[in-house]
Structure 1
Amino acid sequence: MKNGWKTKKLVDVATLQRGFDLPRQDRSSGDVPLVTSSGISDTVSKSAVDGPGVATGRSGSIGNVFFIEEDFWPLNTVLYVKDFHGNDPRFVFHLLKNFDLKRFATGTGVPTLNRNCVHDELVNVPPLAEQQRIVGLLDEAFEGLVTAKANAEKNLQNARALFESHLQSVFAQCGPGWVESTIGAEIKFIDYRGKTPLKTTSGVRLITAKNVKMGFLQEMPMEFIAAASYTGWMTRGIPQKGDVLFTTEAPLANVAQLDTDEKVAFAQRIIIMQPNALRLDSTFLKYLLLSQPVQQRIRTKGTGATVQGIKASLLKLIEISFPKSLTAQEQIVRKLDDLREETQRLARLYERKIAALEALKKSLLHQAFSGEM
């Protein structure tokens, strides 16, 4: 540790206090920030704490740390710093962000940040002038990281939007040689909705609606039924690789393709779709069901006030359009597959960049409070 640095309990660096109940004044009549566990969410007419200040989520979104420039009102879902003991407020802000505050949460019902446990933590604290130097370096670095992360997130959204835009353009209007039909006229349903199997720790993989995402199957949660139960369970029909999986509720209209030849079992809110192979390509059907025009028709037929779902009888009535030629369908599939692959490559690139920026942020905080900056 550098000369002049001291090891102290956090309570001797910054004293945390619980926030207050909502003031009685009308929120809309004031301009004082109301700080909750998720951030500044509203304003009130009077302040309870002089700024600048630091607050962190006590319950709800535990561990979020905020710096507030002006006077503010901390809600009772946060802990705020009452006394900085002569330390720089922004140094304390960065110090708390360097903590994994969630590990100090206690309680079996609604977890709550235990202030006393946080206060007992030992921290390394430099003199005030060194604190201010570190704050200047961190603030400048984090400003650049915020900009870089925002750009990466925007690029990630743009990459995904590019594919969605092209997908919509393909199915927005029928081209020459397209035919009109309905889902029920072209597709056989294997319906395992409403059946709840006995789950086991190993055996044949069980696919439920939780695994079916928009355009792909997700491994988790990984659930199973006993291998000996497979034949007796799958009496409604055996799926094949390439079959299209459709969720009928919670969520409605997620679509993916079965991507394995291995035995898998199905249950809970899934319809397996097997198109007439002489008229409709399975992968083309996947993209067709993912497209905005068809998604909108499905949701229009959906029912339910709390959880929207669709009955199989109504799903079969949904109108669809597709090229009469299987060759034309396959050409569209190849183009969409190539674009999707490129979109996913870009998405992975930007996701890695965002993760790297977060890792760099943690590294800078570690360096700062280890005396290495």
Structure 2
Amino acid sequence: MTQNNQKLLDEKHIPEGYKKTEVGLIPEGWMIRTIGDFAPLQRGFDLPSRLRTDGLYPVIYSNGFVNTHLEYKVKGPGIVTGRSGTIGKVHYVEQNYWPHNTSLWVTKFNGVDPKFIYFLFSKIGFERFSSGSGVPTLNRNDAHSFRIQLPKSIEEQQKIATALSDTDTLISELEKLIEKKQAIKTATMQQLLTGKTRLPEFALREDGMPKGYKDSELGQIPEDWEVDKIANTLSITTGSRNTQDKINDGHYPFFVRSQTVERINTYSFDGEGVLTAGDGVGTGKIFHYINGKCDIHQRVYLMSNFKQNLDGYYFYIYFSNYFYDRIMSMTAKSSVDSVRREMIADMLIFLPPINEQKKISLVIKNLYAELDVLSSKLNKLLKIKQGMMQELLTGKTRLV
């Protein structure tokens, strides 16, 4: 059960059970201590790659677990954070471990619960103690002198840690489910978009025999599929607007060279289409499916006016999954600066019968929708956890 504090509208009023301190109002049973007092930090231990041997014990670097070693330096449980390079991340280690010299580790827990301190450190944000103009380095002295409130009672610390750990478990389980669903989606798309797997209603001939395969410019394809250039199946144009034309509360979507959709009060297109950035950091990776009124940046390509043998959403799925690989195969560099029209126009596409395209689109659209729902749940859980940390780790909400 939780007991919520009323908002403190009057700073002179101190609610029953609370006291005024240098960090504000905190519960009577809480104290203010420095990090150096209850969880001092020490630099980790050097471990050159040539001396490291895979073993049972995790090696914790500034960015977390990377590999293992035959020996350990510190008995778990422990807490590690970045000393140089990656600053701000906090890592909790259950077992014995080796803290690398790019990290700082808690040498002792003076009257505090390790898991509670992990959450407390995660909330503090150790990047505030970084210094140096080159590679950021955590200033241990600044961290040690930082004063913060925490419960005197180990039991209350453990209850807070348990509540937050339970939330972490839910988040972890949901992340694993999303990863599994993402893998299923990727495999399903690979199979259906290439014809390696046929949906049951399209897999057999009229006599009940399985349909065969034939050679094509893209290799083996189902006997009733075709291959054609994109330019032969739709129209390719670009927009005419500039980024500065956007209006924050505009009536229509405005597609620029970004995954972020801006707003505008004009529209130059009304219909079904697929968009991709013509240049910029997202070249070959930014795609939008549209069906309605919108306006378009002058360096964004629009594919529309789909012919009768091409379903618009099928094209969106196919194009967004294979276009990047195509343009990367056309350059000797590690990135593409801009997209030329012929990169799109001359790209080959598998063309199943239109009814099969529509069914493939529906199957994959449902997989996207399922992932969207799960991602939304994950975002809500992450926000809930942040709210819980703010309430529980400051004493605003007490666990009874």
* Same fold, TM-score > 0.5, yes or no: yes
The amino acid that maps onto 1:60 is: G
Counterpart amino acid of residue 171 in structure 1: L
The structural deviation recorded for 1:14 is: 1.9
Q: Is 1:244–1:274's contact at 8 Å kept on the other side of the alignment?
A: yes
Question: Which residue in the other structure is 1:184 paired with?
Answer: 231
Matching residue within 319, 333, 341 for 1:289: 319
1:104 and 1:113 in contact (8 A); partners too? yes
**Unaligned stretches of 5+ residues in structure 1:** 212-217, 228-237
Residue aligning to 1:84:
109
Contact in 1 for aligned 2:314/2:361 (Cα 8 Å): no
Q: How does 1:1-373 map to 2 (within 5 A)?
A: 1=18, 4-23=29-48, 26-28=51-53, 32-44=57-69, 49=74, 51-69=76-94, 72-127=97-152, 130-131=153-154, 133-134=155-156, 136-138=158-160, 140-160=162-182, 164=186, 167-168=189-190, 170-173=192-195, 178-190=225-237, 200=244, 202=246, 207-211=255-259, 218-219=260-261, 241-247=271-277, 250-252=282-284, 254-258=286-290, 261-267=293-299, 270-275=300-305, 277=307, 280-290=310-320, 298=326, 301-307=329-335, 312-313=341-342, 315-322=344-351, 328=354, 332-333=357-358, 335=359, 339=363, 342-365=366-389, 366-367=391-392, 370=395, 372-373=398-399
Counterpart residue identity of residue 273, structure 2: D
Q: Cα deviations across residues 10-35 of structure 1 (Å, max 9, x unaligned)?
A: 22222223335445861126655322
Q: Which amino acid aligns with 1:120?
A: S
Counterpart residue identity of residue 298, structure 1: R
TM-score, reference length from structure 2: 0.65
Q: What letter corresponds to residue 227 of structure 2 in structure 1?
A: E
Change (3 A) 1:111 1:245: same
Give me the whole-angstrom Cα distance separating, in 2, the residues matched to 1:289 and 1:38. Answer: 35
1:313 CA displacement:
4.2
- Once the 2 structures are TM-superposed, how far is the Cα of residue 161 of structure 1 from its aligned partner? 5.2
Read off the aligned partner of 1:186 and give its amino acid letter.
T
Q: Aligned partners of 1:52 and 1:145: how far apart in 2?
A: 20
Distance in 1, Cα, partners of 2:118 & 2:165? 15
8 A contact 2:86–2:136 mirrored in 1:
no
CA displacement at 1:184 relative to structure 2: 3.4
Runs (5+) with no aligned partner, structure 2: 1-17, 19-26, 196-220
Letter of the 1:210 counterpart:
S
Paired AA for residue 378 in structure 2? I
Is 1:163–1:339's contact at 8 Å kept on the other side of the alignment? no
Contact 1:241 1:259 in 2 (8 A): yes
Aligned to 1:230: none
Aligned residue type for 2:52 = R
Q: Does structure 2 retain, via aligned residues, the 8 Å contact 1:183–1:317?
A: yes
TM-score normalised over the length of structure 1: 0.68
Q: Tell me the equivalent position of 1:235.
A: none
Q: CA deviation at 1:82?
A: 3.0
Structure 1 equivalent of residue 11 of structure 2: none
CA deviation after TM superposition for structure 1 residue 102, in Å: 3.5
Q: Offset at 1:372?
A: 1.5
Is the Cα–Cα contact under 8 Å of residues 23 and 44 in structure 1 kept in the other structure?
A: no
Q: Give the letter for the 2:298 counterpart.
A: F
**Secondary structure of the corresponding residue to residue 171 of structure 1:** helix
The 2-side partners of 1:283 and 1:70 are apart by 49
- Letter of the 1:318 partner, please give it: M
CA distance in 1, matches of 2:309, 2:377: 43
How far has the Cα of 1:368 moved from its partner?
A: 5.3
The CA distance in 2 between the partners of 1:244 and 1:17, in whole Å, is 54
Counterpart Cα distance in 2 of 1:84 and 1:120: 16
Between 352-361 and 33-42, report the one with greater CA deviation: 352-361
- Percent identity over the alignment is 22
- For the structure 1 residues 157 and 18, does the alpha-carbon distance in structure 2 shift closer, same or farther, using more than 3 Å as the test? closer
- Which residue number corresponds to residue 204 of structure 2? none
Shift in alpha-carbon separation, 1:112–1:208, aligned structure 2, 3 A: farther
